[in-house]
Chain A
Amino acid sequence: MSNELIDFVIISVALLGIGIYGLSVKRNAIRMLFAVEIVINAANLNMVAFGRFLPHSGGQTLALFSIAIAAAEVAVGLSLIIVAYRMYQNIDIADYRSLKG
């Protein structure tokens, strides 16, 4: 195996940076969900990489749990976006500031 752990960790840091940029700049709710997905994938990549290089099966197990929970999170997040879109006819999060009750 020619790839080293540091390569995967660097890719993971880059993805995490892109995700943080998306979360801080974008105002579109669906795009913010994209950014959250990218951050979660960076974390999964880290877990599997460390699990490979230790080597220990815990990394892959935790990554599988993380993927399954992320699926649940996306389902709930998208349905919340749909409800908010129905209320405000917009997906801009600046409009969701008055969201209460």
Chain B
Amino acid sequence: MADAVFLALSVITIGSAIAALELRSLIYGSIALMGTLGGIAGFFLLLDSPFVAMFQLAVYVGSIAVLILFTVMLVKRELIFKKVEDKRRKFAGIALMLVFMVGLGAVIMDSGIKSITTDEPAVDFRDIGADFLTYYWPALILMALILAGSVTGALVLARREDVENEQRTN
């Protein structure tokens, strides 16, 4: 059975996931998204994987959420608070979500996952480092190239063409 910490974390995570999508202001929405990402990091700690939890905090809460927050601030004020929604579409979306959750949940509850428990010790983070440098080294290099390429691509995309070079230096 789940313990109290798990229940608290799940309430925080799912509650702030709903808040991130439903709050009127995009700024509060992105702060709620930070709550979801932090809650997931807490789950990683519960799963005895502190290295992934720290990585999650550094990359998601530290950089992605802040990046989203700054992008939201670039948008016009009226657009941040504007909420265009079709009522029928919303109900259809909620129905889709419920059908999806109940269906997939029923399949999972019916499967053999329910009986899986473990008494074995957790994976040491040194094993992850060894994995990265032995078996997965081509993937690691490819990931570095993809990251560099995508960040450069993002910078080139977001560059303003209409600003002259002299204005840029001023």
A contact set with B: CB distance below 8 Å:
1-11, 13-22, 24-28, 30-31, 33-35, 37-38, 41, 44-45, 48-49, 51-58, 60-61, 63-65, 67-76, 78-83, 85-86, 89-92, 94
Say yes or no for B141: interface residue by CB 8 A criterion. no
Closest to B26 in A: A30
Check A38–B49 contact: CB distance below 8 A.
no
Asked whether A7 and B2 contact (CB < 8 A) given A48-B47, A52-B122, A72-B146, the answer is yes
Since A38-B33, A60-B49, A91-B79 are in contact, a sample of 18 more A-B pairs with Cβ atoms closer than 8 Å, ordered by chain A residue number, is A1-B48, A15-B36, A17-B101, A21-B93, A21-B96, A25-B92, A27-B85, A30-B75, A34-B29, A48-B44, A49-B43, A52-B123, A55-B122, A61-B131, A64-B52, A67-B55, A79-B158, A83-B157
| Assembled-state Cα–Cα distance A55/B76 (Å) | 49
Asked whether A18 and B97 contact (CB < 8 A) given A31-B29, A34-B29, A89-B76, the answer is yes
Q: Nearest chain B CB to A52's CB is how many angstroms away? A: 4
How would you classify the secondary structure of chain B's contact residues: helix, strand, loop or mixed? helix
| Assembled-state Cα–Cα distance A90/B79 (Å) | 7
When distances are taken between beta carbons in the complex, the residues of chain A under 8 Å from B85 are: 25-27
Check B21–A31 contact: CB distance below 8 A.
yes
When distances are taken between beta carbons in the complex, the residues of chain B under 8 Å from A35 are: 21
